[in-house]
Structure 1
Amino acid sequence: MLRAMNVEHPGVRIRPIREEDRHAVLTLAHRLTEGVAEWRDPEAVVEAARQWLAGSLTPEGDRPGAVFVAETDDGVVGVVSVNTHQHFTGTVDAYVGELAVAPHAVRGGVGRQLMAAAETWARRQGVRHLTLETGAANTTARRFYAALGFREEAIRLTRTLDEGNA
């Protein structure tokens, strides 16, 4: 069951994304590469992150889900996207696709406020769970999500296939 996160920090405003946020949001793409497995191509990871974020900038009426930005007097310092996703059991959950916060805004409550916006959106959809994925090696993110009440549900395992272990 979703527990409400009441988090407000002075000077940070959470609002729906707008087209004029494009440049600021795309500069956050590198933040989505933290904790990615070392065998993954870092340039491909950054490009995938840019594509995910660019996809979030489609016009609101054409976009499923919601995208929110965190804004201060210095501009956009964070972004979160949330949508619905069908779990393999058939239930519909809310799913956070991306959460990125500018390095200078980390530990300032921006991530918590963005996640609270995603949770509010999820509650309005009538879903029971808010889910997300992060890199197994991203211990900072894993601790952050655990502090928000998230629990690990699945573990993804990968084996590199090379000539020697066919």
Structure 2
Amino acid sequence: MTSPPRLSLRPGEPGDLPFLRSLAPRLVASAPPWRRQDDLLAEYDVLFATALTDPEPDSAVLIACMGGQPVGFTLLYWHPQERGVFVKDLAVRADAEGQGVGRFLLEAVERWGRHQGAREIMLKTSWFNDRARAFYADLGFREDHVALVLSLDG
């Protein structure tokens, strides 16, 4: 049995926009039924383009590669007032699941956060995404807040 190719990490660049967009459907797949997935996908188009071409200070897009090909990414922000790193998004290609890519990306987030002086890493995932919640719990994340949403547009 051959082992999977080694993972490498690099910063995101504008040419990664199609790759990030290709993973957006995975990010919205577990959205609650009252969310309009088309609207969420359109928001990701803008978010990803901005993150790669005009990033906020103290933010980063990290790309995990396997065999030189991108297989996952994370978008993160430093919150100095909270001394925390906020993982806005983390996604892995379906064909790379179960190969340690998500764990690899979170280890990179931890290194990035420690370099910034972070005390904690924060993230959100859909309440309906049992798989992600179990993955994060296995890595030591604990559920903290519950977000309640009241839609005002319909």
State the TM-score, normalized to the length of structure 1.
Answer: 0.81
For residue 77 of structure 1, the aligned residue among 71, 78, 103 is 71
Of the three residues 107, 129, 153, the one matched with 1:138 is 129
In structure 1, C-alpha distance between the alignment counterparts of 2:153 and 2:118, rounded to whole Å: 42
Aligned partner of 1:27 in structure 2 is 22
Aligned counterparts of 1:130 and 1:83: Cα–Cα separation in 2: 10
Amino acid aligned to 1:49: Y
Match of residue 50 from structure 1: 45
Count, aligned residues: 151
Rounded to whole Å, the distance in 2 between the matches of 1:58 and 1:73 is: 25
Q: Which structure 2 segments of 5+ residues have no match?
A: none
User: Match of 1:147?
Assistant: 138
The percent of aligned pairs where both chains have the same amino acid is 34
User: Hey, what's the Cα distance between the residues in 2 that align with 1:120 and 1:106?
Assistant: 22
Structure 1 position 18, deviation (Å):
2.0
Residue type at the aligned position of 2:144? E
CA displacement, residues 85-143 of structure 1 (integer Å, 9 cap, x when unaligned): 36xxx533110011011111111101111111111100001010100011110111101
Give the superposition deviation at 1:13: 1.1
Higher RCO (CA 8 Å, separation ≥ 6 residues): 1
Q: Distance in 2 between matches of 1:121 and 1:57?
A: 17
SS in 2 for 1:137: coil
**Aligned-residue CA RMSD (Å):** 2.3
Give the alignment of 1:108-123 within 5 angstroms: 108-123=99-114
Larger deviation: 43-52 or 121-130?
43-52
**Secondary structure of the equivalent of 1:21?**
helix
Partner SS, residue 79 of structure 2? strand
> Cα distance, 1:76 vs. partner?
1.0
SS in 2 for 1:36: coil
Greater mean deviation of Cα atoms: 150-159 or 62-71? 62-71
The 2-side partners of 1:91 and 1:63 are apart by: 16
For the pair shown, the structure with the greater C-alpha radius of gyration is 1
The equivalent position to 1:125 in structure 2, one of 111, 116, 123, is 116
Q: Distance between the aligned counterparts of 1:33 and 1:74, measured in 2?
A: 26
Question: Shift of the alpha carbon at 1:42?
Answer: 1.1
